[in-house]
Structure 1
Amino acid sequence: MVKHKVQKRPGITSAKWGDLTAHLFLIALSLIVAFPFIWMVTSALKTRDEIWMFPPKLLPQVPQWQNFMEAWHGAPFGQYVFNSVFTAGCIVAIQIINSSMMAYVLTQLKFRGRNLLFALIMGTYMLPVAATYVPSYVILGNLNWLDTYRGLIISNATSVFGIFLMRQAFLQVHRETVEAALLDGAGHWTILWRIFMPISKTTVVTFGLISFVTNYNNYLWPMLITKSENMRLVTQGLRQYFIGGGAYGLNWPQIMAASTFTIAPLLIVFFLAQNWFMKGIGDTGIKG
């Protein structure tokens, strides 16, 4: 008598259920995080009455695209966005150069007091930023750099966080690679830019993205050292538009429209650098 084996149908294992649950949780969490931005964009397309409607509705009945044009022409937002993008871009470039050179010194050059120097640098990271405003303001005033691009850029030219991050990345580079370059006659400058920087490019992009967002959104310090309207950053310009004419937030559709196109550069930069950013977050070692 021939016995037939009963084949079990493949079902959903506990591991698959776990992956499905994790994905659903991440999707829900992403929607929660993105909801304020979605609400801001849809509110920019509403009328004032629709914004104050109760119960509130997510989508407008008729999109009011003219709100964006009214907001754009209601203040010199083109100049504001340019100032923020230009100063943040220059600051990021200078900070990457400074941080890379300092990290190379702290990791590759042996000298007395190297660890003490690093400890002092990290100690300044615990200093409240507001405590540096008065001496920095006096220095910029003596240099006649108040209300100038030079003042905005040079006063933010150094990043302790960048030095720490680049140092951690440079510590992962194999010593044999550096010794081989030295035997081939390469100097420190060549080793830094031809070996360390390409190997640490994910860290560089990650730091650049974080620094760009931070400086683009900077508000208090630029407000203290700039006075003229053509030197305002986008954060200052958005606040001035909010309180302009004594409205204090009454024109919410235009305010939401202005908020939408002021954060557009940040979204563009993130989408361009997101792959490198994710690699930088997940990178735990040097490959190859």
Structure 2
Amino acid sequence: MISQQTLTMTLRQVLLTLLSIGMAFPFFWMVSSALKTNDEIWSFPPSLWPSDPLWHNFTDAWAAAPFTQYIFNSIFVATIIVLLQMLNSGMMAYALTHMKFRLQAGFTTAILIGYMIPATATYLPSYLILNELGLLNSYAGLIFSNCVSVFSIFLIRQAFLQVSHELVEAGQVDGASHLRILWTIIVPITRSSFAVLALITFIEQYNNYFWPMLITNDPSLQLVSAGLRSFFVEGGAYGLKWPLIMAASAMTIAPLLVLFIFTQKTIIHSVNLSAGATKG
């Protein structure tokens, strides 16, 4: 007779398997559609896999638009933004949690209030500031306008609050500076939060669409989202070249899938290290 524990575990595994299939199916359908003809895509009932896969659709889509430039722009801009946000978020969170200074509560309150302000409400003043600085239509404008994030500060601050202040005091007794305490004690303990921050920020900036379109008009500075739109509409592919559109979409998503696979392992490993450090 099957025990209750075995039955529960089996049902849980079945449920997780179904959820995994449901989450992976859209990407499978996108790749499958990229290998079909227009007639096969719109046929009913739809087929899961084409009878004669057209692998050249991927090379045709890659040659039809400068996707190499689009992907490079997105990866370059997102990577620099991730590094800058991790740097300034770590220093700001440390100041708010393990340093004492005037108006500390006021700064914390301001950050919490800023977290509730929609990003679109800052577009107009941010645009005017970038215009005055001469940073419109440039990599510098794309990067510096996103190098500080209230969400990032809030996330790292919450992680730093879990670190005992006694560790900071022990470092100060040993004569360590605040920067050394931050990067040699606090950051290694909270590395899982930084890994999560890096993943979330990279995906957000890689897929960023509206703000980059607002401050840039040079096609060579377009990110993948804007590049896909240009290919979809301006390239004459609207409603006509769905296999190429699906192929282009699959190629631009591939870097995110690779990043998620590697970051997932890093996050799990970091969580285990953080738990061990906390117990110790």
Global fold match (TM > 0.5): yes
**Following TM superposition, by how much is the alpha carbon of 1:117 offset from its aligned partner in structure 2, in angstroms?**
1.1
| Paired residues, number | 278
**Match for residue 145 of structure 2?**
155
Whichever residue aligns with residue 21 of structure 1, its letter is: L
Task: Return the alpha-carbon distance in structure 1 between the equivalents of residues 249 and 40 of structure 2.
Answer: 18
Question: Which of 252, 260, 270 pairs up with 2:250?
Answer: 260
Where does 1:66-145 land on structure 2 (aligned, <5 Å)? 66-145=56-135
Alpha-carbon spacing, 1:275–1:221, altered in 2? closer, same or farther (3 Å): same
Q: Is the 8 A contact 2:98 2:165 kept in 1?
A: no
Task: Return the alpha-carbon distance in structure 2 between the equivalents of residues 249 and 209 of structure 1.
Answer: 33
Task: Return the alpha-carbon distance in structure 1 between the equivalents of residues 23 and 270 of structure 2.
Answer: 22
**Following TM superposition, by how much is the alpha carbon of 1:12 offset from its aligned partner in structure 2, in angstroms?**
2.0
Question: Which of 177, 181, 197 pairs up with 1:207?
Answer: 197
Q: Does 1:286 align with 2:278?
A: yes
**Match for residue 234 of structure 1?**
224
Q: Is the 8 A contact 1:249 1:255 kept in 2?
A: no
Q: Is the 8 A contact 1:87 1:152 kept in 2?
A: yes
TM-score by length of structure 2 reads: 0.95
Alpha-carbon spacing, 1:240–1:281, altered in 2? closer, same or farther (3 Å): farther
Question: Which of 4, 24, 40 pairs up with 1:50?
Answer: 40
Q: Is the 8 A contact 1:172 1:286 kept in 2?
A: no
Whichever residue aligns with residue 96 of structure 1, its letter is: M
Task: Return the alpha-carbon distance in structure 1 between the equivalents of residues 270 and 206 of structure 2.
Answer: 21
Task: Return the alpha-carbon distance in structure 2 between the equivalents of residues 228 and 148 of structure 1.
Answer: 9
**Following TM superposition, by how much is the alpha carbon of 1:91 offset from its aligned partner in structure 2, in angstroms?**
0.4
Give a deviation string over 1:36-59, Cα, whole Å, max 9, x none.
Answer: 111001111111111111100010
**Higher Rg of the two aligned structures:** 1
- The sequence identity of aligned pairs, in percent, is 52
Q: Is the 8 A contact 1:206 1:280 kept in 2?
A: no
Whichever residue aligns with residue 71 of structure 1, its letter is: A
1:191 aligned counterpart, secondary structure: helix
1:59 aligned counterpart, secondary structure: coil
**Match for residue 223 of structure 1?**
213
**Following TM superposition, by how much is the alpha carbon of 1:21 offset from its aligned partner in structure 2, in angstroms?**
0.2
Where does 1:6-17 land on structure 2 (aligned, <5 Å)? 11-17=1-7
2:278 aligned counterpart, secondary structure: coil
Q: Which runs of 5+ in 1 are unaligned?
A: 1-10
Task: Return the alpha-carbon distance in structure 2 between the equivalents of residues 275 and 48 of structure 1.
Answer: 39
**Following TM superposition, by how much is the alpha carbon of 1:221 offset from its aligned partner in structure 2, in angstroms?**
0.3
Give a deviation string over 1:85-115, Cα, whole Å, max 9, x none.
Answer: 0000000000000100000000111123212
Task: Return the alpha-carbon distance in structure 2 between the equivalents of residues 125 and 163 of structure 1.
Answer: 9
Give a deviation string over 1:96-142, Cα, whole Å, max 9, x none.
Answer: 00100000000111123212211111101111211111111111111
Whichever residue aligns with residue 212 of structure 1, its letter is: F
TM-score by length of structure 1 reads: 0.93
Q: Which runs of 5+ in 2 are unaligned?
A: none
Q: Is the 8 A contact 2:171 2:181 kept in 1?
A: yes
More moved, 206-215 vs 44-53: 44-53
2:264 aligned counterpart, secondary structure: helix
Task: Return the alpha-carbon distance in structure 2 between the equivalents of residues 208 and 268 of structure 1.
Answer: 14
**Match for residue 178 of structure 2?**
188
